[in-house]
Amino acid sequence: MPPAAESESSVGEGSSAAETARGLLELVRPGNVVSAGVLTFTGSFVAAGLFASPSHVLAAVLATVFATGAGNAVNDYFDREIDTINRPDRPIPRGAVSPREAFAFSVALFLGAVVCAVTLPVEALLIAVVNLVALVAYTEYFKGLPAVGNLVVGYLTGSTFLFGAAAVDSTFDPNVLVLFGLAALATFTREVVKDVEDLEGDREEGLSTLPIVVGERRALGVGVAAMVVAVVASAYPYVDGVFGVAYLALVVPADLVMLIACVRSFRNPSLAQRRLKHGMLLATAAFIAGRLLLSPGPVG
């Protein structure tokens, strides 16, 4: 949906070039972009080791980087009204980037993702097509539905592992499927906590997010249940004899950080969702360490 009236879309165009550039960089959420690229690389690495199809791995990582940046930018474009309540400091509501600039930037990034994805094996291309459609549709069609938006973001985040594995023709590697599940469940939980954090703006906008429909405590209870499943499942790569003690040494603290954050989310969802992200990043390091220092036993 192209930008609306001239007056709205020109808001932010009075910013200096430096403010706009800083705003555009902030719009893509560079931390998420880098992390998502690392997840895709990790999927390739876990599935086929360090030197399998370098050009395909690079194209998959770049497609993920472009797609994640595009998804964040178009999300802020569609959320520009809600974010005047929930996130007034974000680039569009604070006027650093105009809605028109944000929309055009997201289109350019989506095109970059497509250019990279079309060079990949067909299964990876299929994942990219599904993800790009989901990213565009998320805010308009999924975000306002109870738990559906959270599941979509969980799938998208977990799918990076599948995407990386598909780039090296190993989409359904059992260990990659486990990482997909862990990332999807943990991200689902964090999205529920973020919905509790965003309750005021989401209610103003008439969204039916999970906490609005079932109440904050029940919604957080659903999030905790999903995280408990993920934490228990995170033992699988070690118990299965694929990842060694290096994995355990990092994933156990990561699990603890995330479980403690879940408990804290009932009192302080803002702090909890940030702590959940820290735990998830530590878990990503656990996956990489686990693959680097494989268990001396049989590789599953």
Ligand X SMILES: CC(C)=CCC/C(C)=C/CC/C(C)=C/CC/C(C)=C/COC[C@H](O)COP(=O)(O)O
Q: How far is the CB of 19 from ligand X (least distance, A)?
A: 21
Q: Which string of DSSP letters, residue by residue, matches 146-210?
A: TTHHHHHHHHHHHHHHHHHHHHTT-TT-HHHHHHHHHHHHHHHHHHHHHHHHTHHHHHHTT---H
Q: Are 258 and 186 in contact (CB under 8 A)?
A: yes
Q: Which residue is nearest to Mg ion (CB)?
A: 79
Residue 281 interacts with ligand X (CB under 6 A): yes or no: yes
Residue 135 interacts with ligand GRG (CB under 6 A): yes or no: yes
Q: How far is the CB of 262 from Mg ion (least distance, A)?
A: 22
For residue 199 the two structure tokens come to 């309750």
φ, ψ of residue 291 in degrees (nearest 5): -75, -35
Q: How far is the CB of 207 from ligand X (least distance, A)?
A: 14
Among 79, 101, 216, 255, binds ligand GRG (CB under 6 A): 79
Mark residues 227-256: x for contact with ligand GRG by CB under 6 A, - for none. Answer: ------------------------------
For residue 241 the two structure tokens come to 């004899």
Among 131, 175, 189, 295, binds ligand GRG (CB under 6 A): 131
Q: Which is nearer to ligand GRG, 106 or 295 (CB)?
A: 106
Q: Which residues, numbered 44-103, are part of the site for Mg ion (CB under 5 A)? A: 75, 79
Q: Are 47 and 165 in contact (CB under 8 A)?
A: yes
Question: How many chain residues touch ligand X (CB under 6 A)?
Answer: 24
Residue 128 interacts with ligand GRG (CB under 6 A): yes or no: yes
φ, ψ of residue 294 in degrees (nearest 5): -60, 155
Residues 6+ apart with CB under 8 A from 68: 28, 29, 32, 33, 36, 37
Residue 235 interacts with ligand X (CB under 6 A): yes or no: no
